Amino acid sequence: MSSYAFIGKSMPRVDSRAKVTGEAQFTADIKLPKMLTGKILRSPHPHARIVDIDVSAALRIPGVKAVITGRDALQRKWGVFGYTQDQQFLPSDKVRFIGEEIAAVAAIDEDVAQQALECIRVEYEILEAVFTTMESLAPGAPLLHDDFPNNINIHVPINVGDVEKGFAKSYYVREDTFTAAEDSYFQGEPYAVVARFDMDNNLEIWMPNAGPHMKAKPLSNALGIPLNKIRVRKITIGGAFGGRSEISPADFVCALLARKAGRPVKIVYTREENSIATRQGHALITTIKTGVREDGRVIARDVTCYMDGGAYSSTGPIAVSVPFLCMEQAYKMDHVRYNGYRIYTNKPPRGMIRIHGRAFACGVDTQLDMIGEHLGIDPVTMRLVNAREPGDFTNTKSHVASCAMKETITKAAERSGWDDKWGKLPPLRGIGIGCNSVQTGFPMGIRGGSQAIIKLNEDGGATVISGVVDNGQGNDNMLVQIAAEELGVRTEDVQLVTADTEVTPSDPGAYSQVSTFIGGHAVKNAAENVRMQLFETASRALNVSVDDLVARDRMVYVRDSPDKGIPLKKVVRMILAQGKAVCGQGEYWPKVDPKREWVKNPFGQMCGAFSFGTTIAEVEVDPETGKVTVLEVTAAQDVGFALNPLVIEGQFQGSIAMGGQGGILTEGHVWEGGSVLNPTQLEYKVPLACDMPKINTIIIESNDPEGPYGTKESGMSIAMSAAQAYAAAVSNAIGVYMTDFPLTPDKILEALRNKAEAEPVNQEQDEAKGLEIVVPAV
């Protein structure tokens, strides 16, 4: 029985009331006086030099208040890192993908704005374009960026031990290649921005974001305005999933339009724009060579990965590293070599996504199953033999303080009935397991830590000021839970001022699952500071030591003697009467190695904690249609400590939908050259309620020594492991190891056909098998 009032308890989220009544305001819901509609003209060409842009006809249209092109911008190149500065918002030299921003208008309404866009004349000189990593790398291929030879945007080389020696010592070695198409976020809310300047040139801007401070600094640089004049405001956000981590060209364009027009401007992306002009997931080609002992333990692994990065760097160095990191955290290896390449192509830029690098992750696990089959070892044992353990160091020298990976495997196996099912299911039924590990944070330089401020009002209510942002995952509730717990007030006593760069101190944002671990930690520390101020005054009034006091249910009282106490608001008033504020700050800085760098020095402590997840999926394949029906999914994750089990279950369920159900069965972009053929929800199939299986969730608590209350990441380890489990289950059902994702019906049917051709079986048996399948369906 925990001694907490709110921590560790399932509680409905504080933000849900506004969301069920329609009161919650998203960016597109904002309406400001004299606000204009902004629209962006996009390149129809994948690669072309901009010769001339003539906007004069657009400017003559009544109702058009501003038109901008690259000439209106400072023409600085932006990048997340100093060595990845390759993107000029509103480019003036050339366009590099279909959909790239070329000009924009602000007008009195959408119809006028649209009409104005159609009047802008752009003269292009068409350049040769490249659409796949292999085309880009081919000798003589056109360069996207002159300063990046061979179209190699990023190369992350990691070499630990001696893989060749490891392979020589191995009992069994095999090499396989896995591929996947681009995937997309399809956040509920299409991207939108509202911007306005005041007469002192202060910019006020609203947009979905995964970190307001991460938006403000690049905007400050791109616009040439001091940081304290950029006010990224809090707004309800309709999902991020990794896709709203950076400045968007739309932020910059909207701000420029607002400045030029002298009026507020709103840009709302269409669903198509959200797909082609924000971010996408990378397409991957991953070759994995693994050598094992006779008992299945991996001795050496050599991975080469080509990631299709699209036209610009985005979070390139991180994107190339994370698939490797997830693997080295989840599984032990004595020797490992990694060569990760992010390659430019004339397609939309790619960023981090919830199931980042699915071909990599699914490849590692599929290959473990292949090896297990060769050795006669079942998949669960293969995972247990290789699973990360607490106290270990990863190959790149991160200490893993807390880890219940093995427990996630055994508990998930038990709950799913693995032993009764593996190898015993009827034809075309399959079961598969996937394991993964996700970082709780990573070195982020000056914005790697979070600071929070809490003030108490004279009635005992609290205001929490924190840079933490809520993209929909429940971060606001997390902050309220922590503050209420530490201050001894009720959750309804806590007000939030968050995610507003004018007011809230620095915070890394909702990146890499770090909000609770870092931002929540800072709020916890701030609340402890304020509580100590209360205790110092209360201890004098009650004549006891501060160590004997507790704060709970709006009271400060002597431990184990609730009758001997003072109402919290009275303590506040006692302090205020002394002329002091009841206000405190707290900060948290993660214990990461600041010298660790993605490309130059990928060694040292990566992050404060690592989480571990196992998913097991059971599926059935229809051999006539290739359709996969998912019967049951079991997900177990070591989350450190469950702050709010209700919210964590929701994260698990959503992760299974996006990572497994969508990520492996249906989701992938289809292309014709540089054109996305499925940019809308009509053609890009995300899961619906009718697709979802029965889900079992198992929360495992390893109580991380560093995380607040022992917490670490929750959810993403499930999204990743769900993808791996779905892939493994389909392979198991059809008896073919699938290596190209997503596993759409056409690929499954082709695999079944190839298998039938390769293994001619007894005619009678075949017919009997066919009947067996057809009869129940009739």
Q: Which of 286, 389, 321, 318 is nearest to 79 (CA)?
A: 318
Q: Which residue has 């060569």 as its token pair?
A: 339
Inter-residue contact 654 to 452 (CB < 8 Å): no
Nearest to 205 by CA among 265, 117, 286: 265
Tokens of 367: 């290959």
Minimum Å gap between C-beta 338 and other proteins is 31
Compute the least distance from the CB of residue 273 to other proteins, in Å. 11
Torsion of CA 249, 255, 260, 263, to 10 degrees: 140
* 8-state DSSP, 531: H
**34 is a contact residue toward other proteins (CB under 8 A):** no
Residue 208 preceded by cis peptide, ω within 30: no
Helix axes 358-375, 379-386, angle to 10 degrees: 110
Interaction of residue 629 with other proteins, rule CB under 8 A: no
Among 183, 649, 701, 704, binds other proteins (CB under 8 A): 649
The Cα–Cα gap between 688 and 721 comes to: 20
Q: At closest approach, how far in Å is the CB of 96 from other proteins? A: 27
Q: Shortest approach of other proteins to residue 21 CB, angstroms?
A: 6
Which residues from 662-721 bind other proteins, rule CB under 8 A?
A: 680-682, 686-690, 692, 695
Q: How many CB atoms sit inside 10 A of residue 433's CB?
A: 29
Stretch that binds other proteins, among 45-53, 154-162, 194-202, 233-241 (CB under 8 A): 233-241
Q: How many residues bind other proteins (CB under 8 A)?
A: 58
Binding mask 257-276 for other proteins (x = CB under 8 A): -----------x-xx-----
Query: Shortest approach of other proteins to residue 57 CB, angstroms?
Result: 23
CB of 653 to other proteins, least distance (A): 3
* Segment interacting with other proteins (CB under 8 A) among 179-187, 359-367, 404-412, 508-516: 179-187
Nearer to other proteins, 205 or 240 (CB): 240
Our finding on whether 242 is near other proteins (CB under 8 A) is no
Nearer Cβ to other proteins (1/690): 690
Eight-state DSSP code of residue 165: H
Write out the binding residues for other proteins, residues 190-209 only, by CB under 8 A.
190
344 touches 334 (CB < 8 A): no
| Smallest separation, CB 24 to other proteins (Å) | 5
Token digits of residue 735 = 């008896």
User: Among the candidate windows 186-194, 363-371, 457-465, 497-505, which touches other proteins by CB under 8 A?
Assistant: 186-194
CA-to-CA dists, residue 314 to 84, 87, 93, 666, angstroms = 8, 9, 19, 26
| Interface residue with other proteins, options 5, 6, 8, 13 (CB under 8 A) | 13
Residue carrying the six token digits 């699915």: 358
Q: What are 497's two structure tokens?
A: 């001022």
Q: Considering the complex, what minimum distance in angstroms separates the CB of residue 22 from other proteins?
A: 2
* CB of residue 33 to other proteins, shortest distance in Å: 13
Q: Name every residue whose Cβ is closer than 8 Å to that of residue 753 and which is 6 or more positions away in sequence.
A: none
Residue range at the interface with other proteins (CB under 8 A); choices 112-120, 299-307, 457-465, 471-479: 471-479
Which among 413, 436, 299, 308 has a CA at the least distance from the CA of 361? 436
Stretches 236-244, 326-334, 556-564, 735-743: which one binds other proteins (CB under 8 A)? 236-244
Question: For residue 5, how many other CB atoms are within 10 A of its CB?
Answer: 18
Residue 632 contacts other proteins per CB under 8 A:
no
Q: Which is nearer to other proteins, 346 or 724 (CB)?
A: 724
Nearer to other proteins, 11 or 438 (CB): 11
Asked if 341 interacts with other proteins (CB under 8 A), we say no
Q: Which is nearer to other proteins, 64 or 647 (CB)?
A: 647
Least separation in angstroms between CB 188 and other proteins? 3
Q: How far apart are CA 172 and CA 293, in angstroms?
A: 7
CA–CA distance from 297 to each of 263, 301, 334, 388, 690 (Å)? 64, 11, 10, 12, 40
Q: Which of 70, 323, 349, 472 binds other proteins (CB under 8 A)?
A: 472
Cβ neighbours of residue 466 closer than 8 Å, sequence gap 6 or more: 450, 452, 453, 479, 496, 497, 498, 504, 505, 507, 519, 522, 523
Tell me how crowded residue 645 is: count the other CB atoms within 10 A of its CB.
16
Residues 106-165 that bind other proteins (CB under 8 A): none
If one asks whether residue 497 binds other proteins (CB under 8 A), the answer comes out as no
Q: How far is the CB of 276 from other proteins (least distance, A)?
A: 14
Q: What letter would DSSP give residue 387?
A: B
Quick one: which of 50, 307, 551, 657 contacts other proteins (CB under 8 A)?
A: 657
Under rule CB under 8 A, residue 566 binds other proteins: no
What are the b/e assignments for 165-182, b being 16+ CB within 10 Å? ebbeebeebeebebebbb
Of positions 89, 241, 557, 737, contacts other proteins by CB under 8 A: 241
CB of 194 to other proteins, least distance (A): 13
Whole-number Å distance between alpha carbons of 271 and 28 = 13
Q: State in angstroms the smallest separation of the CB of 347 from other proteins.
A: 22
Q: What is the DSSP string of 284-348?
A: EEEEEEEEE-TTS-EEEEEEEEEEEEETS-TTHHHHHHHHHHHHHHHB--SEEEEEEEEEE-SS-
Alpha-carbon gap, residue 213 to 439, rounded angstroms = 21
Closer residue to other proteins in complex, CB, 163/695: 695
User: Which residue in the set 43, 209, 286, 473 belongs to the binding site for other proteins (CB under 8 A)?
Assistant: 473
Instruction: Let me know: does 276 contact 310? Beta carbons within 8 Å.
Output: no
Selected binder of other proteins within 318, 487, 656, 698 (CB under 8 A): 656
Q: Which is nearer to other proteins, 577 or 688 (CB)?
A: 688
Binding interface with other proteins (CB under 8 A)? 10, 12-13, 15-26, 28-29, 31, 185-190, 236-239, 241, 268, 270-271, 471-474, 646-647, 649-650, 652-658, 661, 680-682, 686-690, 692, 695
